[in-house]
Structure 1
Amino acid sequence: MTPALQRSSTRPTELLVTGEFAFSAADFRAIAEIAKAEAGIDLPESKATLVYSRLAKRLRSLGIATFAEYCNTVHSNDQERSSMIAALTTNVTRFFREPHHFEYLRNNILEPRAAHVRKGGRLRLWSSACSTGQEPYSMALTVLSVFPDAAELDIRILATDLNPNVVAHGKRGQYRKEELADVPQAMRSKWLEAVPGDSDSMRVSDAARSLVAFRELNLMGSWPFKGPFDAIFCRNVAIYFDHDTQGMIWGRLSNLLADDGALYIGHSERVSGSALKVLTTDGVTTYRKKSETHR
């Protein structure tokens, strides 16, 4: 049976959701406070049913009887806190999602820099919420379409996510064939390879995987790198944050962009805050950093 959302109240013991586990207003607030402090995730009370359905699986897995007990566990257990955040975030991704971003990357970032890179210049790209790896590998395949010898050049792609499980998946670089449907055939035949003993899957080739470094990273924490990046993908991440947090993230990202570098965001997102002083729109959900002389 689908859990039912109850009338909201300021009384902490009133149930927000009735179902297998009682879920009170106090339980929801405790979870929301942890999600905000840990990962910047903004959870309005209207998300109570979603929170319940995502976390009820964790209670069953751990053999915990109540949400109050679960909240105590999350407070005292770093690993479960990480698992909770992973459960609350949606890892919807696919290869070459928003294909216009990759066309722009090739035509406006990679090709104009080709001569510089071939003379020994560096090229740095960042997938800041890489999920299970489809986005950074789409970036890598786009790079290889311009630089087939990328392994011999100073080209690197950083792929980060706060969820260790999806980072591990990305590092493996293995996907079901149906997940590869949006990879152009020419790229698939050149840069993907068969998996021995598994006819339903393919693996990203060493040439592409060697370009990508996967790391765990919470965007709300410290960033142990300085950039600058020629392009940053931060798509469908800000939707989890409140307006002030969004502005802060956009500002930090823009500070790490190289002059004339590109920032790609989700289709329902808009850059706000201090970043607007240095970024200008340049296509659908694409921003370009102004050169210092034009600020």
Structure 2
Amino acid sequence: MNALVTNGDAAVQAGVGGPSLGEAEFAFLREFVLQQCGISLGDHKRQLVQGRLLRRLRALNLPGFAAYCDLLRRDPDAELGELASCISTNVTSFFREMHHYDMLVADLLPRWLEDKKKNGGRLRIWSAGCSTGEEPYALAMVLAEAIERTGSTVDAKILATDLSPQALEAARKGVYPVDRLGGVDDARRRRWFMRGEGAYDGYAQVHPRLRELVTIQPLNLLHEWPMQGKFDAIFCRNVVIYFDKPTKQRLFARYAGMLESRGYLFLGHSESMYGLSDDFDLIGRTVYRKRT
């Protein structure tokens, strides 16, 4: 759920007090980010990237962007997550695009749980680009509720992955300011969150039951995927919008390979698979079903 840095980041645009990002360094960073993250940085993003990466230079005690580029050349995997965190902004919320959750509650989860009970097997959902955890924990809420309603004993879990170390750390903690719970109704707040006290006043932590259902792991969508089993649904919302066309095509083909027959792929409200894949049918608002 990462969004590229935007022109509205005035503080970053200023980029005051630090080395400048030269043309050669920016050209390297653009190519590096494109190859490693699938994100295309336009010429107009140079000042913004400079402002964001200045913080990283200070943290690493590096003298300039040339030294940072050398670091990426020497050990790209070690720094890739931090770089992705610097040039992206995690934009997410609980129950964002509620129609997706409505479909899960009304149709998909009851059907999947019944099918798994009859035929065996496990239920798996993947939140690809989970950001700070709001999406997988919202999925866990509706999954836990469906399990409670049906009395199911099916092995059901949610995998949550992201490239950003900071986002993953926040997701693992599962602690959020109360004002971030705007998408959660009162009944779910009472059922699935524990209010903080003392130093944690104004914060809420997700219920241990939700944490049991969610496994959080680092993953670069453009690199190798270690998962062996297939998924009933993949949520990849507001992630591919910044990828170039070839990257999207490769990613959708890989998703098709990771989905069960007739499995579901959920995209963000401004994303589309039109002209990018023949493996899926559009069956709802940014909801796609694998054809076979």
The TM-score range, normalised by the shorter chain, is 0.7 to 0.9
Residue in 2 aligned with 1:238?
A: 240
Q: In terms of mean alpha carbon deviation, does 87-96 or 142-151 score higher?
A: 142-151
Note the residue ranges of structure 2 that are not aligned, 5 or more in a row: 1-9
Secondary structure at 1:43 match in 2 = coil
The question of whether the paired residues in 2 share the 8 Å contact of 1:250 and 1:272 is answered with no
Q: In terms of mean alpha carbon deviation, does 146-155 or 185-194 score higher?
A: 146-155
Tell me the CA shift for residue 170 of structure 1.
0.9
The question of whether the paired residues in 2 share the 8 Å contact of 1:127 and 1:158 is answered with yes
Tell me the CA shift for residue 272 of structure 1.
5.0
Q: Which amino acid aligns with 2:29?
A: I
Question: Partners of 1:173 and 1:48 in 2: how far apart?
Answer: 34
Question: Partners of 2:202 and 2:16 in 1: how far apart?
Answer: 41
Q: In terms of mean alpha carbon deviation, does 184-193 or 123-132 score higher?
A: 184-193
Tell me the CA shift for residue 151 of structure 1.
8.7
Are 1:157 and 2:158 an aligned pair? yes
Q: How many residues align?
A: 279
Equivalent residue runs for 1:139-288 within 5 Å: 139-148=139-148, 152-197=153-198, 198-271=200-273, 276-288=277-289
Tell me the CA shift for residue 3 of structure 1.
7.9
Normalized against structure 1, the TM-score is what? 0.86
Q: Which amino acid aligns with 1:175?
A: Y
Distance 1:56 1:145, change over 3 A: same
Q: Which amino acid aligns with 1:94?
A: S
Residues 213-233 of structure 1, C-alpha deviations (whole Å, 9 max, x = no match): 011111011111133211100
Question: Partners of 2:147 and 2:45 in 1: how far apart?
Answer: 45
Q: In terms of mean alpha carbon deviation, does 138-147 or 263-272 score higher?
A: 263-272
Q: In terms of mean alpha carbon deviation, does 87-96 or 105-114 score higher?
A: 105-114
Question: Partners of 1:161 and 1:264 in 2: how far apart?
Answer: 16
Q: Which amino acid aligns with 2:95?
A: F
The question of whether the paired residues in 2 share the 8 Å contact of 1:4 and 1:19 is answered with no
Equivalent residue runs for 1:122-141 within 5 Å: 122-141=122-141
Residue in 1 aligned with 2:49?
A: 51
Note the residue ranges of structure 1 that are not aligned, 5 or more in a row: 6-16
The question of whether the paired residues in 2 share the 8 Å contact of 1:109 and 1:231 is answered with no
Secondary structure at 2:235 match in 1 = strand
Tell me the CA shift for residue 2 of structure 1.
6.6
Residue in 2 aligned with 1:37?
A: 35
Distance 1:4 1:99, change over 3 A: closer
The question of whether the paired residues in 1 share the 8 Å contact of 2:113 and 2:152 is answered with no
Tell me the CA shift for residue 22 of structure 1.
1.9
Tell me the CA shift for residue 144 of structure 1.
1.8
Question: Partners of 1:29 and 1:66 in 2: how far apart?
Answer: 15
Q: Percent identity?
A: 37
Residues 212-260 of structure 1, C-alpha deviations (whole Å, 9 max, x = no match): 0011111011111133211100011112311101110011011111122
Q: Which amino acid aligns with 2:70?
A: N
Tell me the CA shift for residue 273 of structure 1.
5.9
Residues 157-184 of structure 1, C-alpha deviations (whole Å, 9 max, x = no match): 0001111221121111111111112112
Aligned-residue Cα RMSD (Å) equals: 2.4
Question: Partners of 1:210 and 1:258 in 2: how far apart?
Answer: 23
Secondary structure at 2:271 match in 1 = coil
Higher RCO (CA < 8 A, seq sep 6+):
2
Normalized against structure 2, the TM-score is what? 0.87
Q: Which amino acid aligns with 1:33?
A: E
Q: Which amino acid aligns with 2:146?
A: V
Residue in 1 aligned with 2:97?
A: 98
Equivalent residue runs for 1:7-46 within 5 Å: 20-46=18-44
The question of whether the paired residues in 1 share the 8 Å contact of 2:20 and 2:50 is answered with no
Question: Partners of 2:154 and 2:216 in 1: how far apart?
Answer: 19
Distance 1:108 1:243, change over 3 A: same
Question: Partners of 1:241 and 1:173 in 2: how far apart?
Answer: 28
Question: Partners of 1:151 and 1:82 in 2: how far apart?
Answer: 38
Question: Partners of 1:2 and 1:263 in 2: how far apart?
Answer: 37
Q: Which amino acid aligns with 2:135?
A: E
- Structure number with greater Rg is 1
Distance 1:3 1:97, change over 3 A: closer
Are 1:65 and 2:63 an aligned pair? yes
Secondary structure at 2:195 match in 1 = strand
Residues 82-104 of structure 1, C-alpha deviations (whole Å, 9 max, x = no match): 31122112211111111111112
Q: In terms of mean alpha carbon deviation, does 35-44 or 88-97 score higher?
A: 35-44
Secondary structure at 1:51 match in 2 = helix
